[in-house]
Chain A
Amino acid sequence: MIDEQIYRRFNHTIAACFVVYFLFPSEILGLQRSYFIILFWLLVVAIEIARLTKGIKILGMRDYEKDRIASFVWFASGSCLLLGFYEIGFFPQSLVIATIIMAAYTDPVIGEATKKWGDKNGIICGLVCSFAIYHIIVGVLFYSIIGSIAAVIAERPKIKWFDDDLAMQIIPMVILFALHWYDLGPTLVEDGMIIMEGI
């Protein structure tokens, strides 16, 4: 049998590829690319409804996800929200890219580090991982520090109807956006637009 734990981790980290959206042309098959966010989200929700109602077994699901919304739906919902708010003109692109990649990597890193080295070291590893990702992409120390702290705090509470996969995207993004919007933080590199044109 495939190691389900590793399979789950890989499914989590591969979600960082959502950022390829920013390389898409502004129109695909005559439709604005933003419509594809909604289409993708509906597809994910449809799969989840089928899983919950028809009892379809999907490899890698945790036992407690049998009768509640699975983490892939929470993650996809968070990413779609971030991309949607970017398209509306709210969230800066660099923050959205960094937050999606950060959420895809930091949650598994915290999980693995906590399992191997304990709770405190799990938090430290999560902070280092999220800080590094924010700094590599956003390039502003202020946002990297605030974003990483917000992400690790958002990961902590285990709430049934507000999964950490969604919280780790929404909470840091809203905080960073508010700081940027009200000019409480430094200016973003290139005003937050790091990908100017698609393919």
Chain B
Amino acid sequence: MSYTKFYILTLYLVLIICSALFIMKEHYNIAILLILGNMLPGYALANSLLRENEN
């Protein structure tokens, strides 16, 4: 399970870095799409992880 958590955290990091790079290069439309498209599943997954930690 710890591998999975590490992998998920890596995915969040990849998303943040990619979005930041597109913002830096002023490709705001792509950056916004990356953030908005991943926000909902990303949030739901984070919730799922937190619930698992509580248990």
Using a CB–CB cutoff of 8 Å, the interface residues on chain A facing chain B are 1-3, 6-7, 9-14, 16-17, 19-20, 23, 59, 97, 101, 104-105, 108, 133, 136-137, 194-195, 197, 199
Contact = CB atoms under 8 A, between A and B. Distances in A.
Contacts, number: 76
A199 B18 CA distance: 11
Contacts of A16: 33-34, 37-38
Nearest to B7: A59
A23 B48 CA distance: 32
Interface in B5-55: 8, 11, 14-15, 17-18, 21-22, 24-25, 27, 29-30, 33-34, 37-38, 41-42, 44-45, 48-49, 52
Contacts of B34: 16-17, 101
A23 B29 CA distance: 14
B41 A108 contact: yes
A141 to B, nearest CB: 16
Nearest to A11: B11
Contacts of B18: 17, 19-20
Contacts of A137: 29-30, 33
Contacts of B11: 10-11, 14
Contacts of B21: 20, 23, 199
Determine which residue in B18, B37, B44, B48 has the highest number of CB atoms from chain A within 10 A of its CB, and name it: B37
A9 B33 contact: no
Given A3-B45, A199-B21, A10 B38 contact: yes
Contacts of A11: 11
B30 A97 contact: yes
Nearest to B24: A199
B42 to A, nearest CB: 6
B29 A6 contact: no
B40 to A, nearest CB: 8
